[in-house]
């Protein structure tokens, strides 16, 4: 068992180190699941309590942008998986290419998300109450959604606000994870450029891949729960 | 069950003796269990004390039978305690039907009591001995907790809903009422008294109190003031459900489910009319929301009023279930 | 001393391997990080203790006359926050666990040494926020932060304190993560799961709770902070929210957190009982699995804090029966420890005295838990001093006794010096007496009906309160003594041999203090846990070398014994 540049002093061999890293990442992701779990719990409780408000509020979200973002993230998962693959076979150029592609897609996601947030801001759907800016919900104005007038009448503003609050909390925390992910990818690109990865030692790429896929999967849950529960109101 | 244990407060309700009995049982169990283990430990510690610095005793293998014994044994005892404790809990949370009703609105840092007859009290509640008393509580601000040690009862008072507790005082006297849920700076000043009086004294007290009309009658006034009566008419011709004969009955909702029309349901419907819409009525409800417009005490008056007409029959049709107005269909 | 030093050059170990502030603040050695934690948690123990002193002084008289009610509320809140989040939760895992987990599994370090250091920095950052919050006047919500009081009404520094707790949670998560990975992947050759010391089992169970529970408190505090900042109403009934939801989320973490605090102490006690009687633990597997069972069941009983909170009667019953279920594994541990004493060679050294104390307190603390899980009785004693006494019996009587016992037991390993045995026994006795005098009267107070968090109280409660305060002053002295002589012994204590107790575990098979890489060569384990054999058996088995080494003093090269 030859010593390797990437082997930390306290591990016996690369295999043990890889195992430790992988287990550590999985344990960390379990922690993340519990973290998001608390938010999902709050979401489930209030959606169960206030189904109509949640449907109406959900209906005002921009499904097109959400859908595009879903596609973007799925693609980024693919590019990330490819980066991991090329790190396994040791193609340094292609690792860099796919890491950069993943970063571009991740950034695209965030930019689209930024536009969405801006839209919400303009519509006064950001659930805060400041003297200069206040949450407003005008039942009749939901043009792009084309909801029935009657349905929008039925809702209680406070509960709609609750939906937006959860929307911002959940997507916000998700976006924060994306930003952290981009930071990790940047580090990986630099490490790749410096030739730190070999087919024997590439666990940082693999573990970051796990993280990236996890963040994607969270979005796969967020998208239908936040954007699509009001879809039936279109017709 | 009368059983007095040291360091326990007065036993002043029908329930306190039962709690004390379980408590005493648990004390005996703890002492027995603690004493046995302690004695065994002391015995072993002396008998098997280290005699030579380098001595190593012969190992003792574990014993499956012992392990099973001390897993299953305590488990059975624990289940027994569980059943005993739960039966008490059930008694506590099944308020009797026939009872003197008192309403409480708690706030930082006082207890406001309202009798059905209209007497209001602050931090002091007069009740007759030997009669079941049912308390319906809510709070204007933070969570409080209604705790009367002598009655062995406690129940949190949570904003946004009614919680209930009941007791049957068995001994005249003055008993502490504490707030048991931390509620801010004046938490330890949120102390009151429960005055348990002989029935005759209680009647005298009631007569002496300057009642401003019963709770329900105040509610009725408010009902008219807020113009509730324009829609909630007793003849099923109004735009809202008939409220006569409603209380305590099952109500069919527009989403197909049914609820029992209890205090919490009525409270919610007043404060947030969209929450549960009666089957056959327009969705969304046309009733305005009264959240923030009326105080908790006013809500209580309205609830008391609607309760008081709960035994009446609607003037037309006679069905207990509110009828959808035909004009809307 | 000087002459000895001339003869043998001092041995290099983890403490003298490198010098300077930087070598400590940037260390990735788990043993040095453990010492960083030791200093931090000791500091916070005395900060929290200071608040406790003021609380007990205030409660000497029924009228509130020492401080304002407002101040008193801040005192008990800060006492709780500091003691729970900055002392009890990290105490055993981050100090003893950090030091011992790699040693006990025969590894050179934890799996992620840099993350380990990071966790200390995160702890420090969270602590800084909390200290700032204290200096700015503290917070008055109670450590439970119940809404809507905390979200709307409190005028304390809720967000700053919450931020501190939020941040320190991540330090706990990282520690747990490190332990899990280390225990899974870095065990020495031959060290199978059922050969692991029970300390490791209990830390494994603790780590599970840390990584599964802590994120939930993080998100709960996040929700609370946002609610307080933006007032959206997720916990506010006027806006359609539910204040009781906060309690559910809060206790979903905070009840398992109780086991984060007490499970490691149970691990310490298992070590002490086995090694101080020189016997294999009775029912090893039962004790090991009891830890796991406690961790699992611990997640299912949070609702027993809410029997009077308007949750449904049926929910109350489910939580009650599950609470009884979690009591069983704890009882099993007590029985097994007691049975281990049978035919042992029981030492009366200080660590063992703490172990005896722990078992005694734990019986009382545990049995009073049965009172609280009994629905009918809980209605009466909920939120009274009965509860306060109960959890102090577990937290102070359990966790701190375990912590101090462990600290004394491993002190020779940590510092390379022996503590003064006479003083230590005396301190243990003072703590035992002071503790009982402080907290036992509180059971009686509770049943008499004195609610907790009362700044002023009716006069009938005074006698017991005075007793409690008197006990607290004894207890306070009891805690100061070990701090003084342990610090003293670091310089002046006699040098410790590699295995001064004749104990069994791997950590005693390296020198005291251990070298930076822990073992001169990776140990190969061929024995079961606590496999003590009498001399004649050892001869027959031909395992003289390994087991005699555990009893042979002065194996440290360069030690003067």
Angstrom CA distances, B148 to B139, B168, C56, C343, C454, stand at: 17, 12, 25, 51, 15
Q: Which residues contact A172 (CB under 8 A, 6 or more apart)?
A: none
Output the pLDDT for position C403.
96
Quote the CA–CA distance of C274 and C281 in Å, as a whole number: 5
Strand order in the sheet with B110-115: B120-122, B110-115, B100-107, B133-139, B163-167
At B167, give phi and psi (nearest 5°).
-155, 160
Helices (H), C416-460: 421-448
Q: Considering CB atoms only, which of B37, B60, B81 is closest to C279?
A: B60
Q: Which residues contact B123 (CB under 8 A, 6 or more apart)?
A: B110, B111, B177, B191, B192, B193
Tokens found for residue C337: 């420890």
Label residues C429-460 b or e (16+ Cβ within 10 Å = b).
ebbbebbbbbbbbbbbbbbbbbbbbbbbbeee
CA neighbor of B189 nearest in space, from B104, B122, B108: B108
Quote the CA–CA distance of B3 and A232 in Å, as a whole number: 64
pLDDT classification of B312: cutoffs 50, 70, 90: confident
pLDDT tens digits, residue range B129-183? Answer: 999 999 999 998 899 999 999 999 999 999 988 999 999 999 999 999 999 999 9
Point out which residues pair with B159 in neighbouring strands: none
Minimal CA separation from C75 to chain B, in Å: 12
Q: Which residues contact C353 (CB under 8 A, 6 or more apart)?
A: C405, C425, C428, C429, C432
Output the pLDDT for position C171.
95
pLDDT classification of A1: cutoffs 50, 70, 90: very low
CB A145 within 8 A of CB A232: no
Strands B133-139 and B100-107: parallel
Output the pLDDT for position A198.
85
Positive or negative torsion for Cα C77, C80, C83, C86: negative
Q: What is the pTM of this model?
A: 0.89
Quote the CA–CA distance of C73 and C295 in Å, as a whole number: 32
What mean pLDDT is reported for chain B? 85
At C417, give phi and psi (nearest 5°).
-130, 155
Q: Considering CB atoms only, which of A150, A153, A156 is closest to B272?
A: A156
Tokens found for residue A66: 């959400």
Output the pLDDT for position B328.
38
CA angle B126-B127-B128, nearest 5°?
Answer: 135
pLDDT tens digits, residue range A119-160? Answer: 988 888 888 777 788 788 775 444 444 444 444 445 677 788
Largest CA-CA distance found in chain B, in angstroms, rounded: 100
pLDDT tens digits, residue range B229-277? Answer: 888 887 777 788 888 888 888 888 877 788 888 888 888 888 877 778 8
Helices (H), C136-157: none
CB A221 within 8 A of CB A73: no
Quote the CA–CA distance of B71 and C229 in Å, as a whole number: 49
CB atoms within 10 A of CB B253: 16
Output the pLDDT for position A188.
93
CB contact under 8 A, A34 and C230: no
Quote the CA–CA distance of C549 and C498 in Å, as a whole number: 10
DSSP B169: B
Q: Considering CB atoms only, which of B22, B79, B159 is closest to C376?
A: B22
CA neighbor of C366 nearest in space, from C323, C402, C429: C323
CA angle B72-B75-B79, nearest 5°?
Answer: 140
Q: Is C156 left (phi over 0), alpha (psi -120 to 50) or beta?
A: beta
The residue that leads in pLDDT, A172 or A161, is A172
B274, closest residue in chain A (CA to CA)? A154
Angstrom CA distances, C423 to C42, C412, C467, C489, C499, stand at: 19, 16, 26, 11, 21
Output the pLDDT for position C504.
85
Minimal CA separation from A128 to chain C, in Å: 5
Output the pLDDT for position B315.
60
Angstrom CA distances, C420 to C15, C95, C412, C426, stand at: 21, 21, 11, 10
CB C248 within 8 A of CB C220: no
Quote the CA–CA distance of C390 and B49 in Å, as a whole number: 32
Q: Is C375 helix (H, G, I), strand (E, B) or coil?
A: helix
Q: CB distance from B188 to chain C under 8 Å? A: yes
CB contact under 8 A, A154 and B272: no
Output the pLDDT for position A152.
43
Residues of chain C positioned with their CB less than 8 A from the CB of A38 = 215-216, 218-220, 223, 249
Q: CB distance from C390 to chain B under 8 Å? A: no
pLDDT classification of B302: cutoffs 50, 70, 90: confident
The residue that leads in pLDDT, C554 or A20, is A20
C-alpha A30, offset from chain centre: 16
Among all chains, which residue has been given the structure tokens 């822990």?
Answer: C518
Output the pLDDT for position B317.
45
CB B24 within 8 A of CB B32: no
- Residue range A59-68: mean pLDDT, rounded: 90
Quote the CA–CA distance of C320 and C305 in Å, as a whole number: 10
Output the pLDDT for position C25.
92
Quote the CA–CA distance of C305 and C533 in Å, as a whole number: 47
Q: Considering CB atoms only, which of B53, B156, B182 is closest to C309?
A: B156
CB A107 within 8 A of CB A182: yes
Supply the DSSP string of C322-350, one letter for each residue: HHHHHHHHHHHHHHHHHHHHTT--B---H
Among all chains, which residue has been given the structure tokens 């510690």?
Answer: B45
Minimal CA separation from A149 to chain C, in Å: 23
CB atoms within 10 A of CB C465: 21
> Which chains border C (3 or more CB–CB pairs < 8 Å)?
A, B
ipTM confidence: 0.89
Quote the CA–CA distance of C436 and C364 in Å, as a whole number: 11
Output the pLDDT for position B157.
94
- Residue range A63-82: mean pLDDT, rounded: 94
Angstrom CA distances, C474 to C53, C415, C461, stand at: 11, 28, 21
CB contact under 8 A, C449 and B160: no
Residues of chain A positioned with their CB less than 8 A from the CB of B160 = none
Quote the CA–CA distance of C37 and C117 in Å, as a whole number: 10
For chains A and B, what is the number of CB pairs under 8 angstroms?
A: 13
Point out which residues pair with B124 in neighbouring strands: B193
C-alpha A101, offset from chain centre: 17
Output the pLDDT for position C82.
95
Q: Considering CB atoms only, which of A27, A36, A46 is closest to C180?
A: A27
Q: Which residues contact B315 (CB under 8 A, 6 or more apart)?
A: B234, B235, B236, B244
Say what angle helices B16-47 and C350-373 make with each other, to 10 degrees.
Answer: 160
What size, in residues, is chain C?
561
Supply the DSSP string of C287-321, one letter for each residue: HHHHHHHHHHHHTT-GGGG-TTTT--HHHHHHHHH
Strands B120-122 and B250-252: unpaired
Say what angle helices C284-298 and C243-277 make with each other, to 10 degrees.
Answer: 170
What are the counts of helices (DSSP H) followed by strands (DSSP E) for chain B?
A: 6, 12
What mean pLDDT is reported for chain A? 85
Output the pLDDT for position C536.
74
Quote the CA–CA distance of A232 and B280 in Å, as a whole number: 23
Output the pLDDT for position B327.
40
Quote the CA–CA distance of A87 and A188 in Å, as a whole number: 11
Ranges of chain C with pLDDT below 50? 1-5, 546, 552-561
Return the C-alpha torsion angle B95, B96, B99, B105, nearest 10: 10
Q: Is C458 left (phi over 0), alpha (psi -120 to 50) or beta?
A: beta
DSSP B52: S
CB atoms within 10 A of CB B114: 22
pLDDT classification of A54: cutoffs 50, 70, 90: confident
> Which chains border B (3 or more CB–CB pairs < 8 Å)?
A, C
């Amino acid at each position: 068992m030859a010593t390797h540049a990437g082997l930390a002093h306290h591990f016996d061999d690369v295999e043990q180190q890889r195992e430790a890293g992988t287990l550590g990442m999985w344990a960390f992701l379990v922690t993340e699941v519990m973290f998001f779990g608390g938010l999902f719990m709050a979401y489930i409780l209030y959606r169960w309590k206030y189904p109509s408000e949640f449907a109406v509020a959900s209906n005002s979200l921009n499904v097109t942008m959400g859908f595009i973002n879903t596609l973007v993230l799925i693609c980024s998962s693919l590019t990330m998986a490819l980066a991991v693959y090329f790190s396994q076979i040791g193609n340094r150029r292609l690792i860099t290419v796919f890491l950069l592609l993943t970063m571009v897609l991740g950034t695209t996601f965030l930019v689209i998300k930024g536009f969405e947030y801006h839209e919400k801001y303009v519509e006064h759907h950001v659930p805060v109450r400041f003297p200069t800016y206040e949450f407003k919900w005008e039942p009749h104005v939901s043009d792009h959604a084309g909801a029935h007038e009657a349905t929008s009448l039925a809702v209680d503003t406070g509960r709609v606000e609750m939906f937006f609050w959860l929307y911002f909390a959940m997507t916000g925390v998700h976006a924060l994870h994306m930003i952290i992910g981009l930071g990790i990818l940047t580090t990986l690109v630099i490490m790749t450029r410096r030739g730190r990865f070999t087919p024997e030692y590439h666990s940082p790429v693999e573990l970051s891949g796990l993280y990236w896929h996890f963040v994607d999967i969270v979005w796969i849950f967020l998208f239908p729960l936040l954007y699509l529960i009001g879809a039936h109101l279109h017709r | 069950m009368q059983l007095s244990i040291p360091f326990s407060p007065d036993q002043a309700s029908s329930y306190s003796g039962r709690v004390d009995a379980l408590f005493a049982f648990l004390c005996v169990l703890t002492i027995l269990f603690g004493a046995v283990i302690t004695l065994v430990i002391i015995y072993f510690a002396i008998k098997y004390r280290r005699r030579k610095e380098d001595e190593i005793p012969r190992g003792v293998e574990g014993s499956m039978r012992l392990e099973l014994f001390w897993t299953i044994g305590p488990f059975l005892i624990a289940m027994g305690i569980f059943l005993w404790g739960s039966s008490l809990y059930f008694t506590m949370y099944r308020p009797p039907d026939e009872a003197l009703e008192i309403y409480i609105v708690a706030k930082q840092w006082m207890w406001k009591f309202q009798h059905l007859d209209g007497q209001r009290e602050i931090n002091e509640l007069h009740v007759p001995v030997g009669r079941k008393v049912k308390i319906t509580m809510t709070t204007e601000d933070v969570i409080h907790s209604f705790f009367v040690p002598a009655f062995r009862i406690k129940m949190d008072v949570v904003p946004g809903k009614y919680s209930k507790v009941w007791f049957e005082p068995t001994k005249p006297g003055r008993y502490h009422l504490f707030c048991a849920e931390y509620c801010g700076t004046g938490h330890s000043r949120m102390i009151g008294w429960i005055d348990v009086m002989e029935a005759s004294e209680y009647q005298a007290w009631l007569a002496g109190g300057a009642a401003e009309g019963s709770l329900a009658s105040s509610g009725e006034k408010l009902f008219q003031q807020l113009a509730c009566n324009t829609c909630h008419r007793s003849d099923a011709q109004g735009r809202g459900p008939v409220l006569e004969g409603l209380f305590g009955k099952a109500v069919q909702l527009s989403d197909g489910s049914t609820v029992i029309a209890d205090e919490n349901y009525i409270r919610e419907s007043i404060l947030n009319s969209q929450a549960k819409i009666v089957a056959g009525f327009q969705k969304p409800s046309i009733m305005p929301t009264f959240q923030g417009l009326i105080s908790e005490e006013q809500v209580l008056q309205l609830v008391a009023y609607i309760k008081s007409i709960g035994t009446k029959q609607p003037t037309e049709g006679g069905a207990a279930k509110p009828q959808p107005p035909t004009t809307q269909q | 001393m000087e002459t000895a030093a001339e003869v043998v050059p001092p041995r290099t170990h983890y403490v003298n391997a490198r010098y300077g502030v930087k070598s400590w603040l940037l260390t990735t050695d788990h043993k040095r990080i453990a010492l960083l934690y030791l200093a931090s948690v000791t500091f916070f123990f005395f900060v929290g203790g200071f608040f406790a002193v003021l609380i007990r002084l205030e409660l000497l008289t029924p009228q509130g006359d020492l401080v304002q009610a407002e101040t008193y509320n801040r005192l008990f809140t800060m006492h709780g926050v500091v003691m729970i989040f900055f002392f009890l939760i990290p105490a055993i895992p981050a100090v003893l666990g950090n030091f011992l987990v790699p040693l006990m599994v025969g590894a050179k370090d934890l799996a992620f040494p840099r993350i380990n250091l990071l966790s200390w920095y995160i702890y420090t950052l969270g602590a800084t926020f909390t200290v700032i919050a204290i200096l700015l006047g503290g917070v008055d919500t109670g450590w439970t932060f119940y809404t809507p009081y905390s979200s709307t009404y409190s005028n304390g520094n809720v967000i700053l304190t919450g931020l501190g707790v939020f941040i320190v949670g991540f330090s706990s998560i990282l520690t747990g993560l490190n332990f899990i990975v280390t225990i899974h992947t870095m065990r020495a050759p031959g060290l199978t799961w059922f050969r692991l010391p029970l300390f490791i089992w209990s830390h494994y169970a603790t780590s599970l709770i840390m990584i599964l529970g802590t994120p939930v408190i993080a998100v709960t505090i996040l929700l609370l902070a946002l609610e307080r900042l933006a007032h959206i109403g997720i916990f506010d009934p006027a806006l359609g929210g539910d204040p009781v939801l906060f309690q559910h989320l809060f206790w979903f973490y905070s009840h398992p957190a109780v086991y984060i605090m007490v499970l490691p102490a149970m691990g310490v006690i298992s070590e002490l009982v086995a090694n101080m009687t020189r016997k294999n633990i009775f029912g090893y597997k039962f004790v090991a699995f009891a830890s796991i069972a406690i961790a699992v069941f611990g997640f299912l009983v949070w609702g027993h804090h809410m029997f009077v909170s308007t949750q449904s009667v049926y929910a109350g019953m489910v939580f009650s029966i599950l609470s009884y279920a979690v009591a069983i594994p704890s009882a099993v541990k007590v029985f097994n420890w007691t049975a281990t004493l049978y035919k042992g060679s029981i030492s009366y050294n200080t660590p063992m005295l703490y172990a005896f104390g722990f078992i005694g307190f734990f019986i009382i603390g545990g049995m009073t838990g049965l009172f609280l899980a009994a629905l009918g009785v809980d209605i009466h004693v909920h939120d009274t001093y009965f509860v306060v006494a109960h959890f102090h019996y577990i937290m102070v009587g359990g966790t701190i006794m375990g912590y101090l016992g462990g600290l004394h037991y491993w002190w020779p390993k940590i510092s390379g010096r022996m503590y003064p045995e006479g003083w230590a026994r005396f301190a243990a006795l003072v703590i035992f007496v002071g503790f009982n005098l402080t907290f036992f009267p509180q059971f009686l107070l509770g049943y008499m009906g004195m609610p907790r968090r009362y700044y002023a109280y009716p006069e009938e409660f005074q006698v017991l309160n005075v007793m409690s305060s008197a006990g607290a002053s004894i207890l306070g002295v009891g805690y100061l003594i070990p701090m003084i002589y342990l610090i003293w012994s670091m310089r002046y204590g006699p040098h410790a041999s590699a295995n001064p107790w004749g104990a069994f575990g791997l950590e005693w098979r390296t020198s005291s203090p251990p070298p930076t890489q822990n073992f001169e060569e990776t140990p190969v384990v061929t024995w079961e846990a606590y496999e003590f054999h009498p001399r004649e058996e050892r001869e027959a088995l031909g395992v003289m070398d390994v087991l005699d080494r555990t009893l042979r003093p002065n194996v440290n090269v360069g030690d003067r014994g």
